[in-house]
Amino acid sequence: MATPNTHFGAENIALMLKDCKSIYFIGIGGINMSSLAHISHLRGYRVGGSDREKTALTERLKSEGIDIFYGHAAENIESYDAAVYTVAISPENPEYMRAIERGIPCISRADYLGYLMLGYENRIGVSGMHGKSTCTSMCATVFMAGGADPTVLSGAELEAMGGAYRIGESENFIFEACEYMDSFLDFNPSTAIILNIEMDHVDYFKSMEQIYRSYSDFAAITGENGTVIANADDHNIPFALENYRGRVVTFGVKTKSADYTAINIRYPQGFAEFDVMHAGEFVSHVKLSVTGEHNVYNALAAFAAGHISGLDPERIAEGLKAFGGAKRRMEFKGKVHGALVFDDYGHHPTEVATTLEGVAKRGAERVICVFQPHTFSRTHALMNDFAQSFDAVNAVYVADIYPARETDNLGISGKTLAIRIGDKAEYVSGFENIARELNSTLREGDILVVMGAGDIYKVFDYLEFDR
């Protein structure tokens, strides 16, 4: 069971933290939490935090002078003035319970981030059911290439930033805005990017109407002087923007009347290149270093964000070309018996399908996918869509479902999904067993995509990579 978000708001948080000199982060090892811990440390707070196990992120924080505790214990938080927590923790977490007992300020991650970002003038929040991390990373490279020196908080690590966050010296703040449990409603964007809207997070969202309301509320935060950058090709977004009173800037591929459009799209070697048009006029030619039509949309959104922020179009194009993908977003891992191997975070049917369709355009002899479903509720609710997401591949190995915050009370498994996919799919339990199958079947000319938002990346520990 997740712990609810707080919704104190930036002004109240400022008052709550007025006399605080130290902050403790419960779940500090997460990508977003580690970013917030680092920024708080730079702002002069004594910072500490805990997580279940040692990772590269926790070691980096420790090297910066932040106190790290492995395992959660009430005594860890005794000397701190305030606590920030991720909603992924249980309400029975001993540190969270002790913070409540002591009566110290206890603030959810999203609420705290909303407070921090008000120190910046140009606040760009990237939202959507999928593509957020990639588009946030594209925006980061665009603004860096444009000399805009942004502060960035992403959900994925980016080599050009040396991690998932970057501390800049300008008024530009770029952040990933996650909709789960309405976390993004605690943020304060001046510009809101909406990439797409569809059903997901079915353990929280029970209807499309609820999702429309959430995105409508997110857009409204920008205010009458704010801007929404919206995908004109997405049929759900207009329902969320019916009552929006600020400026709407659109982008699209199919909708020729959109403010920013991509024309003359080609896919040499699977990597898109196209002309960007703004208000019907040519602006720049863009070449991408990542595959798939979905990345054309991500690039258009990032282009629009940079352009309306005053960046030079050619510098924007340079940034987009330099973007080679974020960590676990079609990240190249090496070769196994000559086959190209990639790691991808995709876990929603649309993400899965569009990513694999993009891979297929690279002209491999065979495209093979290892897929780890993420949560029982999502797999059950979107089963029909998942079953049709692998049309572009030759073979699928389906792993056990990654439960995350859930327990199985629906009676489904990875085997259930494999059966629904059909003859090209095989259910294989255990990372070593999956790797054994791959080591015996992969050959030169193949592309392997290992896909999922859980711990499926552990398969790489058992693959026979070429030296």
Q: What pLDDT is recorded for position 101? A: 97
Per the CB < 8 A criterion, the answer to whether 388 and 349 are in contact is: yes
Q: What pLDDT is recorded for position 1? A: 58
Confidence of residue 93 (pLDDT cuts 50, 70, 90): very high
**Rounded average pLDDT over 207-212:** 96
Beta bridge partners of 461: none
**Rounded average pLDDT over 277-299:** 95
- Tell me the per-residue pLDDT of 318-331, one tens digit each, with 9 for 90 and over: 999 999 988 888 89
Give the homologous superfamily in CATH for domain 331-462: Mur ligase, C-terminal domain (3.90.190.20)
Per the CB < 8 A criterion, the answer to whether 81 and 21 are in contact is: yes
The values of phi and psi at residue 215, to 5°, are -70, -35
Whole-angstrom Cα distance, residue 41 to residue 45? 5
The values of phi and psi at residue 351, to 5°, are -60, -50
**Rounded average pLDDT over 128-132:** 93
Q: Which residues contact 372 (CB under 8 A, 6 or more apart)?
A: 398, 399, 400, 401, 402, 414, 451, 452, 453, 454, 455, 456
- Tell me the per-residue pLDDT of 248-287, one tens digit each, with 9 for 90 and over: 999 999 999 999 999 999 999 889 999 999 999 999 999 9
pTM beyond 0.75: the answer is yes
Q: What pLDDT is recorded for position 3? A: 87
- Tell me the per-residue pLDDT of 160-178, one tens digit each, with 9 for 90 and over: 998 888 989 899 999 999 9
Please determine, for residue 88, whether its predicted confidence score (pLDDT) is greater than 90: no
Per the CB < 8 A criterion, the answer to whether 286 and 321 are in contact is: yes
Please determine, for residue 405, whether its predicted confidence score (pLDDT) is greater than 80: no
The residue ranges of every structural domain in the chain are 10-114, 119-322, 331-462
Per the CB < 8 A criterion, the answer to whether 136 and 155 are in contact is: yes
Please determine, for residue 193, whether its predicted confidence score (pLDDT) is greater than 90: yes
**Rounded average pLDDT over 119-137:** 94
Please determine, for residue 441, whether its predicted confidence score (pLDDT) is greater than 70: yes
The CATH number of domain 119-322, selected from 3.40.1190.10, 3.10.20.30, 3.65.10.10, 1.10.10.60: 3.40.1190.10
**Rounded average pLDDT over 407-414:** 90
- Tell me the per-residue pLDDT of 361-401, one tens digit each, with 9 for 90 and over: 888 999 999 999 999 999 999 999 999 999 999 999 999 99
**Rounded average pLDDT over 80-107:** 95
**Rounded average pLDDT over 84-103:** 94
Mean pLDDT (the chain) is 94
Taking the domain 10-114, which CATH number applies?
Answer: 3.40.50.720
